[in-house]
Amino acid sequence: MPFFGFKGGVHPDYNKSLTMEKPVETLPVKPGDKYYLPLSQHIGAPAKPVVSKNQQVKTGELIAEAGGFISACLHSPVNGKVVSISHVVHPMAGRMEGIVIEADETNDEFVPISDEGTFQQIVQRAGITGMGGATFPTHVKLSPPKEVDSLLINGAECEPYLTCDHRMMLEETMKIIKGAVLIKEKLRIKNLIIAIEKNKPDAIKLFRKYEKEYGFELVPLYVKYPQGGEKQLIKACLNRVVPEGKLPVEVGVIVHNVGTAAAVYEAYTERKPLYERIVTVTGAVVNPKNLRVRVGTPILTLVEACGGFVGIPKKMVMGGPMMGMAVTSVETPVMKGTSGIVVYREEDMPNLTKYPCIRCGRCVDACPMLLVPSIMDRFVKKEMYEALEEHHVLNCIECGCCSYVCPSRRTLVGGFKTSKRHIMQMIKERGAKNA
């Protein structure tokens, strides 16, 4: 299989050795623990609660149903009682509507989902969203509006620090492969490609063994961030360029994270809904670990399971250091897309002394989407949204490479993120005017 690569990208310090060798441990459920479940754990409309306060629920029981096609169901992660349906901490929105469940007894069994209906309906019923961080509802991706000839399973895990996908590839190899083959067969896709970054040689070796038997192609990827970006991955593995503003389906590809493939397998064959996931807890914690945790567990519980903080925590990041969100509270719950918790002390943080832009062009060379961040940043400051749109800011994948390399510590990607919202609004208004 040829490797095509993409332009740009950066080489951050990977720091994966902290947890790379550590097998996944299951975080036990303790009676009395509270689980916080925001209704928006995915891109799209929030889920609608179907339980009421004080109702008893079992692990895997549906507690909120999808609020539309681009939405996902939500299941109780534990046996317990619904203690409130109001507001919970959310990493992006601060606080938002959610369900709080208090666990009463520890039980490893779950209420299976019904296996009636199509493959996509089962996946939807299981509440599966992309497990890589972007949390796009999986059943939507599995209902391509166009013909798809290639299924790409993303095992790049290019974010520094994170090892949850790596561990999963080592420990649940068969689930991933069988899940991928299942999707391939159900959707009648010709090619199945599993792509893994070369810094996981053990995983590559393991998958190689099954390559012939299960009829997939293994592509070892060059170690570079953002190798796991959907568009970058498609360019690297298939040399196809997804047109701007379009989804991978446009070039006949669907991309799923390894975790998603395993979740699809569990949902279809074991009828298990998505209520737990593997999270890498790392950084300034006593004993960094890969933990299997129930969705809704507050991150403080995770940190405590890792022996607590080392020193005084200054910043907590949900996800990886490149694209993760800094959270305000240790009560923030693990969500379906939470791949890691990275704790920073003051001394772990990079020097953030700001200087004026010196036009060094490092951001331009680093941008995998071939944008010109240094010039666009001027438009951000002057709120020149039309000019930004002309410079294709909407094509920005928010990977953060530009900010990462900036020696003047400009908040380049931050500016683009906020500007994109303004521009979307602008385009909407323009459409309304023309209509």
Minimum CB separation of residue 327 from another protein in Å reads 7
- The residue (of 112 and 243) whose beta carbon lies closer to another protein is 243
Give the one residue of 181, 247, 317, 341 binding another protein; rule: CB under 8 A. Answer: 317
Query: DSSP letters along 316-354, please?
Result: EEES-TTTPEEES-TTPBP-TT--EEEEEEGGGSPP---
Select from 62-70, 125-133, 199-207, 363-371 the region that touches another protein (CB under 8 A): 363-371
Using CB under 8 A, which of 18, 24, 152, 322 touches another protein? 322
Contacts of 286 (CB under 8 A, 6+ apart): 306, 307, 308, 309, 310
Contact 363, 336 (CB under 8 A): no
Token pair listed for 412: 């380049």
Binding of another protein by 413 (CB under 8 A): yes
How far is it, in rounded angstroms, from Cα 22 to Cα 2?
A: 32
Q: Is there binding between residue 218 and another protein (CB under 8 A)?
A: no
- Binding residue (CB under 8 A) for another protein from 241, 286, 424, 427: 241
Check binding of 119 to another protein (CB under 8 A): no
- 201-214 helix and 164-171 helix, angle to the nearest 10 degrees: 50
For residues 163 and 280, is the Cβ–Cβ distance under 8 A? Answer: yes
- Contact between 355 and another protein per CB under 8 A: yes
Shortest spacing between CB 160 and another protein, in angstroms: 6
CB of 231 to another protein, least distance (A): 6
Q: Nearest approach, Cβ of 342 to another protein (angstroms)?
A: 7
| CB closer to another protein, 20 vs 64 | 20
Applying CB under 8 A, among 170, 254, 369, 380 the residue interacting with another protein is 369
Is residue 392 at the binding interface for another protein, with CB under 8 A as the rule? yes
Q: Does 206 bind another protein (CB under 8 A)?
A: no
Of positions 148, 364, 380, 388, contacts another protein by CB under 8 A: 364
Q: What angle do CA 76, 82, 84 make, to 5 degrees?
A: 120
Asked if 342 touches another protein (CB under 8 A), the answer is: yes
Q: Is 363 annotated as a binding residue?
A: yes
- Could you give the maximum distance between any two Cα atoms of the chain, in Å? 61
Residue 307 touching another protein (CB under 8 A)? no
Handedness of CA 18, 20, 25, 26 (dihedral sign): positive
Task: Map residue 270 onto helix, strand or coil.
Answer: helix
Query: Is 158 annotated to bind ligand?
Result: no
What secondary structure does DSSP assign to 356-376, as a single string? ------HHHHH-TT---HHHH
**By the rule CB under 8 A, 52 interacts with another protein:** no
Distance CA 106, CA 202 (A): 34
Taking CA atoms, 419 is separated from 26, 93, 386, 392, 396, in Å, by: 41, 17, 10, 11, 11
Q: Which of 31, 361, 427, 430 binds another protein (CB under 8 A)?
A: 361
* Contact between residue 179 and residue 186 where contact means Cβ atoms under 8 Å apart: no
Q: Which stretch binds another protein (CB under 8 A): 199-207, 211-219, 269-277, 396-404?
A: 396-404
Per rule CB under 8 A, is residue 156 in the interface with another protein?
no
Counting contacts by CB under 8 A, is residue 243 touching another protein?
yes
Residue 10 near another protein by CB under 8 A? yes
Nearest distance from C-beta of residue 144 to another protein, angstroms? 18
Contact present, 137 and 43 (Cβ < 8 Å): yes
CA distance 262 to 178: 8
* 401 marked among binding-site residues: no
Name the minimum Å distance from CB 305 to another protein: 14
What residues form the annotated binding site for [4Fe-4S] cluster?
Answer: 357, 360, 363, 367, 396, 399, 402, 406
What residues form the annotated binding site?
Answer: 357, 360, 363, 367, 396, 399, 402, 406
